[in-house]
Amino acid sequence: MPPAVKPPALCIFDLDGTLVDSLRDIAEALNECLELLGLATHPIDRYRYMVGEGVPKLCERAVGATHPYLVNRLIELARPRYRVRPLRHSRPYPGVVAMIERLRQASIKLAVLSNKPHDMTVSMVRAFWSDHTFDYVQGYVEEQHRKPDPHYVLHICRELGVRPSEACVIGDTPTDVETARRSGAIGIGVAWGFRSRADLTSAGSAHVVGAPAELVALLGCGA
């Protein structure tokens, strides 16, 4: 465990793979759509390396190089298919609910920033946390502002009155690491999600934690 960092004023969390284990629901929805198009499906575990950059990128990776003309059709199918079943298997990772509560008790402002469509991001957060748990929740709206673009990190900081250097961006993929770097925030990788500790370290994350309790300790908010 690296030395504790100065407790931040704000923690901005990724959603899928960081707060919530949603991989099976995403994979099953995409595979159903691939089958409708007569394309090969993928093992659930392979989706760990497909998700994280929004639905268009996910569909592009799922189709691969063999049928590029079907990417837009897969996008059209995937959004409504996943929308009706996002919570069939998805749940917060063990220890995450207690972690969020501990950070709130430490008077740290909390936000969610996801590349999942905005309405679905809001719905998923509300399914597992009360309306007053997070100070700001933001999902994908415009392609040009999709993570790793820093736009929404900077927007959230302005809205909550926090300097980016006083904020942590916390996520499970290299996309989150790059988002932190571009926004001037502290980047923290979580190795309990979709990507490995090695992936996050290779992406340049100075801090990587393996469990929610380790994140609480890193931020100096332990009991």
- Burial of residue 145 (number of CB atoms within 10 Å: 0-12, 13-18, 19+): middle
Token pair for 13 = 């969390």
Structure token digits, residue 106: 């430490």
| Annotation marks residue 14 as catalytic | yes
CA 166, CA 141: separation in Å to the nearest integer?
25
Give per-residue burial for 97-120: e unless 16+ CB within 10 Å, then b: bebbebbbeeebbbbbbbbbbeeb
From the candidates 14, 21, 135, 172, give the one annotated as an active-site residue.
Answer: 14
E-assigned strand segments in 96-171: 109-117, 136-140, 167-171
Q: Which amino acid makes up residue 96?
A: V
* 118: Cβ contacts below 8 Å, ≥ 6 apart: 138, 139, 140, 141
- Rounded CA-CA distance 94/19 in Å is 9
Query: Which residues does the annotation mark as catalytic?
Result: 14
